[in-house]
Amino acid sequence: MIIDKLKPGEGKDVLQGLPAGYIDGLKKDVPPHLYKVLADVITLLLKRINVPEEEISEVTGKIYERRIQEMFPHFDNYDVQETRKTARAEGKAEGKAEGETTKALAIARKLLKMAMPIEDIIHATGLPSEEVEKLREEIISSKTVQ
């Protein structure tokens, strides 16, 4: 019920504001099998948001050790929304870079087929000389096969 009342970023403050011995008192009334259930639920939630396995083990270890109050500070600086936003931005940047490389390779192929000098192709496309040389070899070998 305490968790339902928390707002993002408030967890630590609320837990620290509990009366002394509150969580210890709760632990006395919890049957041992419920710790496994709690650990399994937390594990599933953390896996769902792609928390690394070693961090999940650290958090669930606190549950099995009955040190539940110590697992919350682990997430003080963890912001799921910010992580998603960063991941999306990185994904877009990777996709854009990949698209630009694919386009540069296609242009380089066309220019090689038009017999443009390799140095000019490198300058026009921004591709590394090794990549343009590799394309040139592919084009030459494909002509040989035909």
- Domain boundaries in the chain? 3-78, 81-145
Cα(110)–Cα(38) distance, integer angstroms = 60
pLDDT at 103: 95
Question: Would you identify the CATH topology of the domain 81-145?
Answer: Arc Repressor Mutant, subunit A (1.10.10)
Contacts of 27 (CB under 8 A, 6+ apart): 66, 68
- Residue 78 has φ and ψ, to the nearest 5°, of -100, 120
Cα(135)–Cα(119) distance, integer angstroms = 13
Cα(15)–Cα(70) distance, integer angstroms = 10
Tens-level pLDDT at each residue, the chain (146 residues) = 444 444 454 444 555 666 666 656 666 667 778 888 888 888 888 888 778 888 888 888 887 777 766 666 666 566 667 777 888 999 999 999 999 999 999 999 999 999 999 999 999 999 999 999 999 999 888 877 65
